């Protein structure tokens, strides 16, 4: 399987996964044009569309792709996603013959109430829940829900590729360095990202192992993060620490 991020809009990624028989699926197509261009360039046949949540910058191209290619559109149970042909939720499994893929569905509310992730084939398509060196804003969920979602993603196999919805890594890195400035793994990741972006290349996918080593939102129980949270008024449980960290990121302008 080949996994390719297709840049779209200002900073979105549409994820394309295809096999050597030229059979493809796409995840969170914010617009149809980049998908059509990639299909034509690689001579691929689109077989399915997967959606993680209802925001228009993740579903905006789904209707056009469905109409042109006559493919199923998988999505969470959310009336705001009218493009769906098949609804999926926690514990469901999607199996396709072309390309031959199998994805388990994880319910990961927090960014939105109906957000889901697709896990399989060595990757996790996690939309706007987990980012490289960061996490999504809480538009509809609570800190407890988002922390639970991140815990579930962090528990995936270390080698799992994290395929997130936006190119936010450099900005996330600047905040992460203010929280854990002496983390050597973070320093290595920042250098990697700087090099990749200078070359005009995506900073993702990353891996669960790299995120656990350098993403402050997956390191709530580390001593350095606990100390930072205490300095910012979060003296108690994991949820309060996460809430303090997320609030600080919301206000960060570094």
pLDDT at 14 over 90: yes
What is residue 103's DSSP assignment?
E
pLDDT of residue 182: 97
Short-list 40, 37, 114, 41, CA closest to 74: 114
Looking only at the bridges linking them, the beta strands covering 86-88 and 100-107 are unpaired
Q: How far apart are CA 5 and CA 13, in angstroms?
A: 6
Using an 8 Å Cβ cutoff, are 139 and 146 in contact? no
pLDDT at 254 over 80: no
CATH of the domain at 178: 3.60.15.10
Per-position b or e across 108-125, b if 16+ CB within 10 A of its CB: bbbbbbbbbbbbbbebbb
Active site residues: 53, 55, 57-58, 111, 128, 166
Short-list 79, 80, 148, 74, CA closest to 109: 148
pLDDT band at 63 (very low <50, low <70, confident <90, very high): very high
What is the arithmetic mean of pLDDT over 77-93? 97
What is the arithmetic mean of pLDDT over 223-244? 91
Strand partners, 120: 123
Range of the domain at 17: 2-251
Domains in the chain: how many in total? 1
Phi-psi label, residue 120: left if phi above 0, alpha if psi -120 to 50, beta otherwise: left
pLDDT of residue 234: 80
pTM: 0.97
Structure tokens that stand for 102 in this block? 């199998």
């Amino acid at each position: 399987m080949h996994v390719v991020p297709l840049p779209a809009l200002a900073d979105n990624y549409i994820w394309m996964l295809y096999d050597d028989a030229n059979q493809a699926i796409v995840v969170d197509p914010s617009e149809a044009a980049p998908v059509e261009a990639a299909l034509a360039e690689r001579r691929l046949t689109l077989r399915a569309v997967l959606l993680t949540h209802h925001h228009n910058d993740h579903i905006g191209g789904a209707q056009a792709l469905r109409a042109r290619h006559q493919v199923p559109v998988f999505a969470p149970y959310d009336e705001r996603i009218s493009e769906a042909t098949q609804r999926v939720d926690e514990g469901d499994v999607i199996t396709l013959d072309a390309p031959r893929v199998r994805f388990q569905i994880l319910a990961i509310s927090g960014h939105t109430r109906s957000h889901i992730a697709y896990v399989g084939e060595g990757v996790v398509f996690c939309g706007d829940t987990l980012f490289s060196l960061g996490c999504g804003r809480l538009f509809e969920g609570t800190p407890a829900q988002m922390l639970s979602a991140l815990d579930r993603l962090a528990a995936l196999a270390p080698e799992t590729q994290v395929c997130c919805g936006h190119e936010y890594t450099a900005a996330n890195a600047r905040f992460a360095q203010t929280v854990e400035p002496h983390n050597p793994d973070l320093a290595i990741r920042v250098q990697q990202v700087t090099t990749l972006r200078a070359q005009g290349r995506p900073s993702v996918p990353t891996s669960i192992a790299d995120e656990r080593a350098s993403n402050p939102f997956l390191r709530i129980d580390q001593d350095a993060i606990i100390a930072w949270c205490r300095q910012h008024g979060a003296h108690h449980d994991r949820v309060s620490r996460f809430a303090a960290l997320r609030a600080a990121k919301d206000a960060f302008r570094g």
